Chain A
Amino acid sequence: MAKKSKNVRKLFLQGNQACAMAAIDAGCKFFGGYPITPSTEIAEILSIELPKVGGTFIQMEDELGSICSCIGASIAGKKSMTSTSGPGFSLMQEGIGYACITETPVVIVNVMRGGPSTGLPTSPSQGDVQQARWGSHGDHEMIVLSASNVEECYYSTIRAFNLSEKYRTPVVLLLDEVVAHMRQNVILPDPKTVKPYERKHPSVPPDWYEPYATKKLIPVLANFGEGYRYHITGLVHDEKGFPTSVTSEIFKFKERLKNKITHNTKDISIVELHNCEKAEIVILSYGCVVLSVMEAIRKAGRKKNIGPDKVGMIKLDTLWPFPDKELNKIIDDISKHAKTIIVAEMNSGQIYREVERVNRGRLKIDSIFQNNGQLISPETVYKKILGALS
């Protein structure tokens, strides 16, 4: 993906390092966090790197404070990020809801580990996929991204910042213990070629300013201290930002909050296909499981009685909003030759249910659910492929 340039960086990195480097390249200037395995490297690196670019790092007293400090910094005009894992992510949910309703850009990296509760601190899992979508109370849209290798950790982090600033909403990046701690050779672009999205500023004088005007889907919110004195609240508010309980105003606000995400799924959703052109079996996965699926597909391809074209893969880079339209079209296309979709994930079927919903019975759906702290092995996927082909 890196463009040819003298300053491309050839590095040997782990996912957490790539994520921290991407934050700097994306223009992150504030990090508030709390130590938690397996995400801590991100905080450690940013505590070193942020001061070099004029940014601020602070270790807060807990994850509640971490997310809130990030939202505060974002409202004051700085791109902000925090990183955590399951137990901390649970604590951050109230802050995520606040960022949603106040339309404050903030990036939350959740390096998933085994759960529930303290669970398996040093083992991978994909148990927080539905929590990332519905974890904060009240009905709201969420943007949640995924990454399946170290290079993707870099690009997904950049994307998380850009989407967050563009749509003025919290963006969750779900990594897992494997991609976060795994080391790979990567080629990262020259930081100067990274074009981060910069948030818009009001173009009217303060007297004319309506922070939450419903004319536009995405509001243009002034940073605090810029001369636009207005009110931000976690209560449902009117176009001026003041609390309201008028039904028509509530309706307009909630519709806009939903539509700014659902009307832009084309821009937000990324689904990648691999070897699906003639495949009889397609495996759908995301995150670290993709590594095992790729290996199993290669192994199956080498078998003479199977051949290179029979097994393909669908990789979800955007988990939420769920790419309904994209997947619907993909299933339409591949159902001409494919019989089965196998959903492989490290939980009890959190994405499986979504696939089942979109599939509407067109293809047979099978699954590999494994949630024992071990990465689903290529062998497990391979055996499933053999079973499905027989």
Chain B
Amino acid sequence: MKAVNPDHIVFKYLRKNKKFPHIFCPGCGHGTILGALIRAIDELDIDKNSISMVSGIGCSSRAPVYVDFNTLHTLHGRAIAFATGMKLANPKQKVIVITGDGDATAIGGNHFIHACRRNIDMTIVVFNNSIYGMTGGQYSPTTPVGAVAATAKYGNIERPFDVCDLAIGAGASYVARGTAFNPKALINLFVGALKKKGLSIVEAISQCPTSYGRKNYFKSVIDMLDWQKNHSVDIRAWDKLPKEKREGKFKVGLFVDRDFPEYIEEYDKIHKASLKGGK
């Protein structure tokens, strides 16, 4: 038996007093994404005490309970609103929101777009598995047309959101997408997002073998990861790809990295100026 390596990153960031095992199903992509996130945090050497990780409700939102930060598991869809208050109250904190596709773009869609517009310095990670996994596989705003779900037995009719396009349109400073298939690329995107001053969003494509894969003719988890591999196209290659070859595929990589005035800095500036200016 191999000796345990006490310096492994898992022991540095996972909670020793949390009752494991975790709730993620075998083959779930969420653990991979969380692993990439803590590696990015480790790379940047951010003080654990200064990190506040805020999540909503759903499978992805259970991730913070396992990691050794200040962790807040909130209400369905409202993680970003909680995070907004938290960051404004103590701007020294590094605030990271963990949310899912349903949490961020259905019930929390309003908070999501307004956070992008407001541009408060924090990072939102959307674990997108295209399904409501925790409640047993109902279709979400990112379920593809035609996919089968517990509430779309005859195939989903609704057109899905592109989470990144939504974030770009709403004005986020940093928008990127990666996959659970390629955690190394994800780590780099997370590093960029965490370093960015302003609102950064990383959409991480995840797989849900239990609630999505089984119903949609994926024979195994490997099949699902293969799908991510074969359908994701790096942004740099995407532009050169002829239109017919883009069909059914999606872009990955860093989409926008732009500078807008950060909310808290502006707040301080404006109020300092007005207080100096007398009445």
Contacts and interface: CB of A to CB of B under 8 A. Distances in A.
B5 interface: no
Interface in B120-144: none
Interface in B238-255: none
A60 B80 CA distance: 11
A308 interface: no
A62 B71 contact: no
Interface in A86-104: 94-95, 98
Given A94-B75, A231-B64, A29 B84 contact: no
Contacts of B64: 231
A269 interface: no
B93 A76 contact: yes
A62 B48 contact: no
A51 B73 contact: no
A324 B81 CA distance: 38
A240 interface: yes
Given A224-B93, A225-B92, A232-B73, A75 B86 contact: yes
A229 B48 contact: yes
Given A69-B82, A229-B48, A29 B89 contact: yes
A72 B81 contact: yes
B36 interface: no
B201 interface: no
A181 interface: no
Interface centre among A58, A65, A242 (most CB of B within 10 A): A65
B61 to A, nearest CB: 10
Given A225-B90, A225-B93, A231-B64, A76 B73 contact: no
B90 A56 contact: no
Interface residues of A, number: 43
B108 to A, nearest CB: 9
B230 interface: no
B261 to A, nearest CB: 15
Contact of A65 (B15, B78, B93, B274): B78
B186 interface: no
Given A60-B84, A61-B110, A65-B114, A72 B73 contact: no
Interface in B58-116: 64-65, 68-75, 77-78, 81-90, 92-93, 110-111, 114
A76 B72 CA distance: 11
Given A225-B50, A229-B49, A242 B71 contact: no
Contact of A68 (B50, B73, B74): B74
Interface of B: 15, 17-19, 48-50, 52, 54, 64-65, 68-75, 77-78, 81-90, 92-93, 110-111, 114, 267, 271, 274-275
Given A51-B275, A76-B87, A229-B70, 12 more contacts: A52-B275, A56-B88, A61-B111, A64-B110, A69-B85, A72-B72, A72-B81, A76-B89, A78-B89, A94-B75, A232-B71, A235-B73
Task: Give the top 5 A-B pairs by smallest Cβ distance, nearest first.
Answer: A72-B85, A69-B85, A68-B81, A73-B89, A72-B82
